[in-house]
Structure 1
């Protein structure tokens, strides 16, 4: 007894004089009615054979016109895209200047804040302390004349 696996589907090789048995005829594959595409039907030929054949397609409805808003949108889409691309390129070129501008604005904000802090922290002068006014009158006669003047303190 051999321990080789046997395959019943593989026929034994034929020897001289053996009868050749043909397998039964395999029926042709048939399509289900749901699988038949539109415009194709079973037809019977004059010799009696039934087969699939193209038939006249049913009358199709005329295409509806494209609405005006769809045409406008389709025409504006490249324009809007080009505008966005131009704006992004402009921002890319302007980025260094915008960064410098924001730094300058922050410096101005810091200067204003420092001035406010100094104004709040500086002591106020009292209202009782008088202010000093100095007036001066100077007169001279001639081109090389001696100048005379008076100083008044109030």
Structure 2
């Protein structure tokens, strides 16, 4: 839907005599040099004159020359490394796909080795302690220590039964 403005605001050129814009003796008029930049005296559709902010004319930037610029070294290096890295990843994927059956078998073997080590860590000490208990009774050690006086020398005997 097209937008049609209800009113058209037009700009009017300033008169060389600033006193000509004075509507009556009761109102003061700004001199042209007092009007700030970006503000103009405009005539509204009803014939009234007022100060208004206006858009500066859209200026187009001067055409720039599009001279060929050299390609930076980092861009060349990245462009050369991209296929190399891509082919390396592809070769690694293909190698893993060929090695998958062997890797699966190796993981099963590692799980089995881990289970064997865990069983050995728990089972061997249990077997050794069980074998010791059946062979010999525990040794009983008694110790007798005697001393005479406050600063006397202590004498003792140790008996293995």
Same structural fold, with TM-score higher than 0.5 when normalized by the shorter chain: no
Larger RCO (CA under 8 A, 6+ residues apart)? 2
Structure with the bigger percentage of helix: 2
TM-score, normalised by the number of residues in structure 1: 0.42
